[in-house]
Structure 1
Amino acid sequence: MITSSANGKVKQVMNLTKKAKARKETGLFVAEGLRMFKEIPRDRIDSLFVSESFLKNPEGRKVIGSMNYEEVADDVFKTMSDTATPQGVLALVKQYAYTIDDILDRPGPALLMILDTIQDPGNLGTILRAGEGAGITGVVMSDTTADIYNPKVIRSTMGSVCRVPFVYTAGLPETLAKIKKRGICLYAAHLSGRNNYEKEDYTVDTGFLIGNEAGGLSDETAAMADTYVKIPMMGKVESLNAAVAASVLMFEAARQRRN
């Protein structure tokens, strides 16, 4: 049993939790909590840590099954944890590696979410989770977007990070040009939108551009859109939260495709 927070494995977990650089260098990320543990494909788990209290629960032992694990004293597990009320199970997981071609070559009509400098981890995680529910085929992100392996993002995805392909790009305009060459129509929610969002046809290859929470889309990214659309507002509200706006668009596309 690990009984000291000075243990090297404990320090590794804490480093991966706090530092994007450490996650990038090791190719690992931290997934904490019972729900996330159940969602992770077993072949992607590098190492598993469970608290002594978790092991005393017969259900906990049943969930772990025959997997190898490190038992951790409760007080040390609290030190490792990034949550206020740890559930007692934490895994180090191998990161996913996709290319833009992996996303563009998927069968069926494309439905892409393209994110320009989304900064809030909760927004990013919510977009992935809602996106899986809406049937998106991939997420493309500028390299100024939040780290998808941030523990807060991982928790917000509720497992969708394991199933929705995603890619970062250092040159978003160039990547958008490649996407457009594939015949994918790009839509941007914009105050200058010609039509309300539900008036467009999203049953064909489609990509939605979503901008930064404070500043919206950069001018350079917005200029790559084929069409601007509006999400009409009542009251004095001028715009929606990035994840909410993304969800409105994604689920309109899903509705059209169901019909």
Structure 2
Amino acid sequence: MDNPRSDRVRSVAALSKRSVRARTGRFAVEGPQGVREAVRHAPASVRDVYLTAEAMARYAADIVEPARAARLWVHEVTPEVLAAMAETDAPQGVLAVVEAAAPTLEDVLAGGPRILVLLTHVRDPGNAGTVIRGADAAGADAVLVSEASVDVFSPKVVRSTAGSLFHLPVVTGLDVDATLARLRGAGVRTYAADGSGTTLLPDADLSGPHCWVMGNEAWGLDDAVRDTCDEVVRVPIHGLAESLNLAMAATVCLYASAAHR
């Protein structure tokens, strides 16, 4: 494929827009790490894989052969075509179009989860993606995302997950109040991670099923949400730092949970 102005190229490039992703149910994954994980862990969702000739040779074992073994469409394209498809200036010669998974909260609860994290009003793509990556690394069962949060299938979020988006369920579009009520009904305790908490993280009882509730990067958790949670937990600060950012705090909390698992 060598025409950067073709309809196919334009349709892939259009996936950088949220409205197009919502309409098509598809999103783009750029770079070898994300594409490799999509091919390896979610091949049924991968529609097309695009690579330059150089990338075809470099990632033959990691991407091309597994993709062809899964009977996926693998296309060789020119660097100009890939650049026209990608949002980034340096997509490293690899891009895939993937159908967005749509797990539900009920799907997650049916699996008897032990560790969850709920993002409420999280707007920064890097933070959202890093929380998903941290949740994956800590062995969380799922990431829950409120309807007011960033689109997890946006290019920046997808890149910052480093492939973890394909390793665990990510439930999106949730109403926060309804989600907290449903978690409580399923026997999952909810812990608001907030600097105002009177319980320090090392003192929190994380032995049972629980969900960390994380707030907005700028203003934290709404008072009503914080008050609805079973407990408000604070990460202790031992040095002079005023606070941890959202992604760091979430990862610290999730690893504390993992230690009890």
Q: TM-score, normalised by structure 2?
A: 0.90
Match of 1:128 in 2: 132
- Stretches of structure 2 that go unaligned for 5 or more consecutive residues are none
Alignment partner of 1:72 is 2:72: no
Query: For 1:115 and 1:122, how far apart are their aligned partners in 2?
Result: 13
Give me the whole-angstrom Cα distance separating, in 1, the residues matched to 2:209 and 2:174.
23
Counterparts of 2:53 and 2:139 in 1: how far apart (Å)?
A: 39
Is the Cα–Cα contact under 8 Å of residues 144 and 174 in structure 2 kept in the other structure? no
| 1:207 is aligned to 2:211 | yes
| Residue 254, structure 1, aligned to residue 252, structure 2 | no
Q: What is the alpha-carbon distance in structure 2 between the residues aligned to residue 60 and residue 246 of structure 1?
A: 33
Match of 1:245 among 246, 249, 254: 249
The ranges of structure 1 where at least 4 consecutive aligned residues each deviate by more than 3 angstroms after the TM superposition are: 59-63
Partner of 1:6: 5
CA contact (8 A) 1:53 1:74 kept: no
| 2:46 maps to 1:48 | no
Q: 228, 235, 240: which one pairs with 2:232?
A: 228
Task: Return the alpha-carbon distance in structure 1 between the equivalents of residues 7 and 60 of structure 2.
Answer: 25
Q: How far does the alpha carbon of each residue in 1:118-140 deviate from its partner, in whole angstroms, 9 at most, with x for none?
A: 11111111111110111111111
User: Partner of 1:32 in structure 2?
Assistant: 30
Instruction: Map 1:128-207 onto structure 2 (within 5 A).
Output: 128-207=132-211
Runs of 5+ consecutive residues of structure 1 not aligned to the other structure: none
CA distance in 1, matches of 2:49, 2:81: 15
Where does 1:83-98 land on structure 2 (aligned, <5 Å)?
A: 83-98=88-103
Query: What is the one-letter code of the residue matched to 2:115?
Result: L
Q: How does 1:102-121 map to 2 (within 5 A)?
A: 102-107=107-112, 109-121=113-125
The TM-score normalised by the length of structure 1 is 0.91
Deviation at 1:212, TM superposition (A): 0.4
1: distance between equivalents of 2:169 and 2:43? 18
Relative distance call for 1:74 and 1:169 in structure 2 (3 A) is closer
The alpha-carbon deviation at position 13 of structure 1 amounts to 1.2
Deviations 1:20-45 (A, max 9, x none): 11111111111111111211132221
- Paired residue secondary structure (1:84): coil
Identity of aligned residues (%): 33
Over 3 Å counting, the alpha-carbon distance change for 1:98 and 1:230 in structure 2 is same
Secondary structure of the 2:59 match is helix
Q: Give the secondary structure class of the aligned counterpart of 1:237.
A: coil
| Counterpart Cα distance in 2 of 1:174 and 1:14 | 36
Q: RMSD of the TM alignment (CA)?
A: 1.7
Output the CA distance in 1 between the equivalents of 2:77 and 2:247: 36
